[in-house]
Amino acid sequence: MMRISFGARLLGACLMVLLATAALAAEFDAVKTRLTADGIPAAQVKAAFSRPDVRFSVDPMGKKLLEMYTSKFGSDVVRELQKRFTELGYFSGPANGRPDYLFRSGVRAFQREHGLPVDGRYSLDMLTLAVQEQAKAPRQVQDDLKALAASGPPQMYEAIITPERLGEAKEFYLANKAVLDEVRQRYGVPPEATVGLLTVETRAGKFLGDNLALNNLASMAASSKASTVMSVFAGEKVTPERMAWLDSKAAEKAAWAYNELKALFTYGERNKLDIAAMPGSIYGAIGVSQFMPTSLLRFGMDGDGDGVVDIFNVRDAVNSMGNYLRAHGFTGNLDDEATLRESLFRYNHSETYVNTIMAVAHYLKGGQALP
């Protein structure tokens, strides 16, 4: 039997890494070439992509495709975790492979009991740990999870309706009363609702994203084939038919991301801002009020009159948000909460999202944090 030396194995591994890096660089090069062909100045494209922090990531497209795949087919990793969590007392729902609120509550409970970061995120490593675990969940944990199952899904994002987050909202509300009143006068949006939205989106400006918007949008635009990001599908039994479906979705999302990326460059050039220094959400939303670049080009406002629409500036951000909500149906009638809720729903199509914003607003008005 032929033996391969450690040095040879190491060299092979290094070559594979170099080839993978080169392939990813080629994908980025195609995006840069397309941007230039579509009229973005070559010097602007080169300057942005030459920054050392600008690099490809599988996370944005990988996360989006895995979410879509799990929603349609169910996740094999989740399904096996649900079965094992049922045996250990961390789950009492159906093993359907879909990570609903009850499953994620079980994940958080499992993480707490095992000294892991409590973020509700599942993984193949967690499944391995759960299979090895022999001790069942403590009785109190099991009772709490069963009570949660009986009460049904929460109406609000529980991570937002906490003393810490509500305190951040109150602090922002008091510190920015003048600009909030300005937005109310211009667009009719109640200050409490404005702060509620900002609290949900960015913790009132305290968290603007943990990666560059340019990285995330360019990485998605470069990932028009699902094979680029299949590392995130570890543990999933992806059939050829499902792979074809994933490829079609990757192409759709890559086209969407490219359009947003092009808008990001236009936004930066129009306002003389450095887009390669802008943090963003995993899907490229930016600023205190988390606008996608195409929406920012349409609804962004220069709130402080300096000739620049800077979505990272509080005055510009809240004026832009007020303009967006007014353009999407809010009448300015402070007693018309139903129309305000409809406008907020257009900002993010989620009733839980809207309920949480309104709960923060009610709290800031002196009431309880309830929708």
C-alpha 284/C-alpha 279 separation (Å) is: 8
pLDDT at 28: 86
- The first and second tokens of residue 216, run together, are 């995330």
Indicate the pLDDT class of residue 333, thresholds 50, 70 and 90: low
pLDDT at 136: 97
C-alpha 330/C-alpha 232 separation (Å) is: 40
C-alpha 72/C-alpha 296 separation (Å) is: 31
C-alpha 169/C-alpha 167 separation (Å) is: 5
C-alpha 292/C-alpha 348 separation (Å) is: 12
Q: Which helix (H) or strand (E) holds 22?
A: helix 6-37
pLDDT at 14: 45
- Cα-Cα end-to-end distance for the chain: 69
Sign of the dihedral defined by the CA atoms of residues 345, 346, 347, 349, in that order: positive
pLDDT at 12: 47
pLDDT at 161: 93
pLDDT at 17: 39
204-254: per-residue pLDDT in tens? 999 999 899 999 999 999 999 999 999 999 999 999 999 999 999 999 999
- The first and second tokens of residue 97, run together, are 């492979």
pLDDT at 1 over 50: no
Phi-psi region of 152 (alpha: psi -120 to 50; beta: other; left: phi over 0): left
Residue in 213, 212, 173 with CA at minimum distance from that of residue 190: 173
| Angle (CA) 341 345 351, round 5° | 85
Put simply, whether the predicted model's pTM sits higher than 0.85 gets the answer yes
Residue in 152, 180, 199, 172 with CA at minimum distance from that of residue 369: 199
Using N-to-C axis directions, what is the helix angle for 76-88 and 101-113, rounded to 10°?
Answer: 60
Count CA atoms within 13 Å of residue 328 on its CB side. 20
18-45: per-residue pLDDT in tens? 444 444 557 789 999 999 999 999 999 9
70-128: per-residue pLDDT in tens? 999 999 999 999 999 999 999 999 999 999 999 999 999 999 999 999 999 999 999 99
142-184: per-residue pLDDT in tens? 999 999 999 988 899 988 999 999 999 999 999 999 999 999 9
3-18: per-residue pLDDT in tens? 445 445 445 444 443 4
Domains and CATH numbers, the chain: 74-151 (1.10.101), 163-208+287-364 (1.10.530.10)
pLDDT at 3: 47
Rounded mean pLDDT of 176-198? 94
Q: How many CB atoms lie within 10 A of CB 262?
A: 20
